[in-house]
Structure 1
């Protein structure tokens, strides 16, 4: 699975760093159209998370994941075939649907394989994935230097090919044990008891709602920074992919060490407080970047990228632990699918949020950071009564336990 993460994210790094610029300069979309495209495709992709989790509770996880990788490849290749806005939105929506489902299944795979070591496993997986992002981002920066339509198209084709490579590698992965599938096939009246449904779990739903806001760091790097650099700062346009590379290099260096700070539910909850500070600082740095010349803007945007990267790493650690700790073992797929709605919804809400911040000017970024910081405090309160302060992560799920 680590090799899959590397291949997948190297391709994604090729595309993520330049997707906004591709739609702006190659297909000729306006800022509003780019934001709307990302928002609409993200909204449609929301269905991928719960659908993927539910299916993975019933079918072999690795086979479902392979099918999703193929779907993502086809959607990426399709973008090369048209400049029609409606078709671009449709193809991006299909890709978003597959991406959101695949994201949930990757997390579920980690939970089933690693058990109580899931936070560390996810940290290692994320480190490898971000090494791939960095490689892809460096290649994208080189393509930006060329600046031709063909260069952009090759980056998109590379992204599609990476999904096909990931699908082939998935064939070699062993199927992890599943408590839900074991329960479903058992004739023991005790073990066939249905797991809880996340749709009636008010605490979990409230937690997922706050997660939607905390995942907005993704929109900052994919949409906010490139557009802010291009339209509201004196920083060079080539800084955008370089900041994405910096983001990934920091994660490669620090994600695994930071994961140790969230190995228990109580520790993960405690990290929400420094997380709020990181988001606030990132918003302030973005706002100040519009007040100086090229050098000042570059330095402050770099500081903002570092702050939002710290927020991303801290939130990842918190999210890996709490999303599972709040879910019953026999319904992990369903619960993680609902949790995946947070990232899916962010794909829709995020572009609108950051473009609104850009439209409001520097004060918009200050408010952006402040709102997310306040949400961290709210989540800290929401999960308090649900968690056992001294609880370790849940034990590994194996067939023999049922």
Structure 2
């Protein structure tokens, strides 16, 4: 499954940073049209997580993953066939739906196949994802140096071919046993009725709090670049270097950090250092607005390190708690709902980050306090709802 992640994320890296440029340079759309297209298609894609999660409880995951990869490939190839705005919007929406759906099904597959080592597996998976994005980004940067219509089309074709390659690789993956099937037939008892996550108040509140904790992504990718330009004396060229630093730290430290969240209770306890990291990162970002270029640069580098640490800690906590809180018989549906946390962050996070930039240093301090309080609230929320620690099943299928 890790090879699948590498191929998939490399394809994403080819397209993610060039999509807007493709729509302007090749399809001839205006900037406002591109913004609306990306926003609307992303809004449609939000439905992908809960829909796919619910279906995943009812059919083999490998079969569903193959179908979703083919949907993504067809949507990407379809973008090459037209310049009509309505059709571009339709194809982009289908692709966005497929992306979100494939993401939650892949997470469910990983949770089942990794068994007792799911936290470490997720850490390795994130490391591989970052390597894939970097490889795709490097290839995209080379193509952008040419900046011709043919180069943009080649990047889109490469993205589509990566989905076909992932579908082919998935054919070789074994199907992991579903916890719901084990529960139903392990001792001859009657199958447990599936539970709806939409009626589980604790899980919905947990998902909402996780959306807030995911704001570190928008702060890093949207807030910091704008802050560097509009509020600090640091060089504008520092922004992409901080992104490189972020990726390098994740590649080298995500796996070692995973051992601190190897159990559900240990993952819950990581919410304490996560809260401290958020406060320190926000303080460093606020401090970068004072002093000369060297001080601003040092403060921004400290911010990048702290927010990357927060990103890694949060990924461990979010992965473990989202699975542990989901009942076995409805695991897919629950993880599908949890996928809405990232969708909500991607929609509202940039607005929160830009508002903080406009409001000034105290806004970052306030955001750090909100994130820390959310960590505290989430830790209390899940305390009485986590299952007792039990030996986890071994990996159930070859990945």
Structure-1-length-normalised TM-score: 0.84
User: 2:366 matched to which residue of 1?
Assistant: 367
Pairing of 1:6-25 with structure 2 (within 5 A): 6-17=6-17
**2:75 and 2:92 in contact (8 A); partners too:** yes
Match of 2:354 in 1: 355
Partner residue, 2:178: 178
Contact 2:116 2:395 in 1 (8 A): no
- Report the more deviating stretch, 189-198 or 333-342: 189-198
Rounded Cα–Cα distance in structure 1 between residues aligned with 2:161 and 2:239: 24
Q: Decide whether the 8 Å contact of 2:20 with 2:34 is kept in 1.
A: no
- Per the alignment, residue 29 of structure 1 pairs with 31
Q: In the TM superposition, what whole-angstrom CA distance separates every residue of 1:179-221 from its partner, at most 9, and x where no partner exists?
A: 335667x698724221332222221111111111112233334
Out of 312-321 and 62-71, give the one that drifted further. 62-71
User: Cα–Cα, structure 1 residues 117 and 188, in superposed 2: closer, same or farther, change >3 Å?
Assistant: closer
Any idea what the Cα deviations from partners look like across 1:20-41, whole Å, max 9, x if unmatched? 67778885526x974x655544
Q: How far apart are residue 281 of structure 1 and its match?
A: 3.0
Give distance in 1, aligned partners of 2:233 and 2:157: 31
Residues 253 and 334 (structure 1), Cα distance of their counterparts in 2 relative to 1, 3 Å cut: same
Check conservation: 1:58, 1:180, Cα contact below 8 A. Answer: no
Q: 1:238-261 deviations in whole A, cap 9, x for unaligned?
A: 554443333222111111111110
Paired position in structure 2 for 1:267? 266
Deviation at 1:286, TM superposition (A): 3.6
CA contact (8 A) 1:138 1:241 kept: no
The separation in 1 between residues aligned to 2:295 and 2:212, in whole angstroms, is: 29
Check whether the contact 2:115–2:396 (CA below 8 A) recurs between aligned residues. no
Paired residue secondary structure (1:219) = helix
Of residues 83-92 and 97-106 in structure 1, the stretch that sits farther from structure 2 once superposed is 83-92
Q: How far apart in 2 are the matches of 1:355 and 1:164?
A: 37
- Superposed CA offset, 1:244-303 (max 9, x none): 333222111111111110111211111011112222333334444455666555544433
Indicate if the aligned counterparts of 1:179 and 1:398 stay in contact, CA closer than 8 A: no
Residues in 2 aligned to 1:143 and 1:241: alpha-carbon distance in whole angstroms: 18
Partner of 1:391: 389
What is the rounded CA distance, in whole Å, between the counterparts of 1:228 and 1:298 in structure 2? Answer: 12
Higher alpha-carbon deviation: 292-301 or 123-132: 292-301
Report the equivalent of 1:98.
Answer: 98
Question: What secondary structure sits across from 2:326 in the alignment?
Answer: coil
How many Å apart are 1:313 and its aligned residue?
0.7
Give the C-alpha shift of residue 135 in structure 1. Answer: 2.1
Contact 1:42 1:345 in 2 (8 A): no
Q: By how many angstroms is 1:4 displaced?
A: 0.6
**TM-fit CA distance, 1:95:** 2.7
Aligned counterparts of 2:153 and 2:297: Cα–Cα separation in 1: 28
1:327 aligns with 2:303: no
Give yes or no for contact 1:179–1:329 (8 Å, CA) kept in 2. Answer: yes
1:141–1:238: 8 Å Cα contact kept in structure 2? no
TM-score (normalizing by structure 2):
0.84
Q: 1:57 to 1:44 in 2, by over 3 A?
A: same
What is the CA–CA distance in structure 2 between the aligned matches of 1:298 and 1:87, rounded to whole Å? 45
User: How far did 1:304 drift?
Assistant: 2.6
| Corresponding residue number in structure 2 for 1:132 | 132
Contact (CA 8 Å) 2:54, 2:333: kept in 1 or not? Answer: yes
Instruction: Give, in angstroms, the shift of residue 5 of structure 1.
Output: 0.5
**Aligned position for 2:59:** 59
The verdict on how the C-alpha distance between 1:3 and 1:130 changes in structure 2, with shifts beyond 3 A counting, is same
Structure 1 residues 17, 346: CA separation in 2 closer, same or farther (over 3 Å shift)?
Answer: same
CA contact (8 A) 2:278 2:371 kept: yes
Deviates more, 1:236-245 or 1:197-206: 236-245
Segment of structure 1 superposing worse, 246-255 or 349-358: 349-358
Change (3 A) 1:235 1:339: same
Residue 16 (structure 1) shift = 3.5
Alignment of structure 1 residues 305-344 onto 2, 5 Å: 305-344=304-343
The Cα offsets for residues 308-327 of structure 1, whole Å up to 9 and x where unpaired, read as 21111101111121112112
- C-alpha separation in 2, matches of 1:2 and 1:53: 21
Shift of 1:369: 3.1
CA distance in 2, matches of 1:319, 1:93: 27
CA distance in 2: counterparts of 1:336 and 1:290, whole angstroms:
40
CA distance in structure 1 between the partners assigned to 2:88 and 2:296 by the alignment: 33
Taking the aligned partners of 1:344 and 1:254, their CA distance within structure 2 comes to 26
Q: What RMSD over aligned residues (CA atoms) do the two structures have, in Å?
A: 3.4
Shift of 1:148: 6.3
SS of residue matched to 1:161: helix
Aligned to 1:50: 50
